[in-house]
Amino acid sequence: MRLIYVDDEQPALENFRWTTAGFTEIRSLEMFRDPQSAIDWVRENPVDAAFLDIEIPGGGGIELSRRLCELNPKLRIVFVTAYHQYAMDAWSTEAVGYILKPYTSEDIRKQLERIARYRPKPAHRVEIRTIPTLSVAVDGNPLPLSRSKVRELFALLVERGKGGITSGEGISCLWPERPGGKDTQSLFRVTYKRLADTLQEAGVGHILSSVGNRRALLTEQVDCDLYRILDGDEQAAKLYDGQYLQEYSWAEDRNGQLYRMLLEKKEK
């Protein structure tokens, strides 16, 4: 998702950027010390959520939130402050969250998960099956992943989920026999672009996230049998028969995990 953070103190901005570094949920992050600059940005650019310090010059974070929501009624607001007494004022604005300084990365992640629940459901339904092999459908129609490495890269992104992969991790799985030189890195970039283009053409390009050197699948945007099993869905677990992404050797560890889960259920 696309975020902005507004705080009149530069160390606070840097701390927020450092705390959220590596969050695959974040597609873009813009930082502002001046409320008017944030207003100008939201007026001209798509933004999903705003993290706002309450005590900022020029009317404060609560007034800023009202002005931002006038520009973008779908904008989700999370207030960040060091003072408990502002909580009631913050909730009166229908903010989705409230974080107290000093915060942790887990505090931020919880707010991002809450924001994701408020976001509109995607226009297209993406169904991913990994048992026994990979199959992907958009609105019931098979997604054409005809190139073997594009298909495998998508399977790997499904396997890694929110954690995502770096280019080096992707290369080690897709081309384990080749060194991670410039040629192989270029090959990885081309493969990822082909995958992104395929998803974009199908109208579901939003399910991928690319932040710095890390690529990830936005798991909350898809319906996947693996994620259902890991969340304890017994109906999904019944479909597992000992095979998971059987065409890929790097999937053996996960298959072992699923097999152990199956045995534990039988023993119980």
pLDDT score recorded for residue 98: 83
Strand order in the sheet with 126-129: 141-142, 135-138, 126-129, 223-224
Q: How far apart are CA 59 and CA 56, in angstroms?
A: 7
pLDDT score recorded for residue 264: 82
pLDDT score recorded for residue 152: 97
Q: How far apart are CA 89 and CA 148, in angstroms?
A: 55
pLDDT score recorded for residue 87: 53
pLDDT score recorded for residue 115: 84
Q: How far apart are CA 232 and CA 246, in angstroms?
A: 22
Question: What is the 3-state secondary structure of 16-77?
Answer: HHHHCCCCCCCCEEEEECCHHHHHHHHHHCCCCEEEEECCCCCCHHHHHHHHHHHHCCCCEE
pLDDT score recorded for residue 36: 93
pLDDT score recorded for residue 123: 65
Q: What is the pTM of this model?
A: 0.58
pLDDT score recorded for residue 149: 96
pLDDT score recorded for residue 175: 94
Q: For each of the domains in the chain, give its residue range(s) and CATH number, in order of start.
A: 2-118 (3.40.50.2300), 126-267 (1.10.10.10)
Q: Which residues contact 100 (CB under 8 A, 6 or more apart)?
A: 81, 82, 84
Per-residue pLDDT of the chain (268 residues; tens, 9 = 90+): 889 999 999 999 999 999 998 888 888 899 999 999 999 999 888 888 999 998 887 768 888 998 998 888 888 999 998 766 555 555 555 678 888 888 999 999 989 888 887 665 556 789 999 999 999 999 999 999 989 999 999 999 999 998 899 999 999 999 998 877 788 999 999 999 999 999 989 999 889 987 778 899 988 889 999 999 988 888 888 889 899 999 999 999 999 999 998 888 777 6
pLDDT score recorded for residue 197: 92
Q: Where are the alpha helices (DSSP H) in the chain?
A: 10-19, 35-44, 60-71, 87-91, 105-118, 148-160, 167-174, 182-201, 225-230, 234-237, 252-267
pLDDT score recorded for residue 120: 58
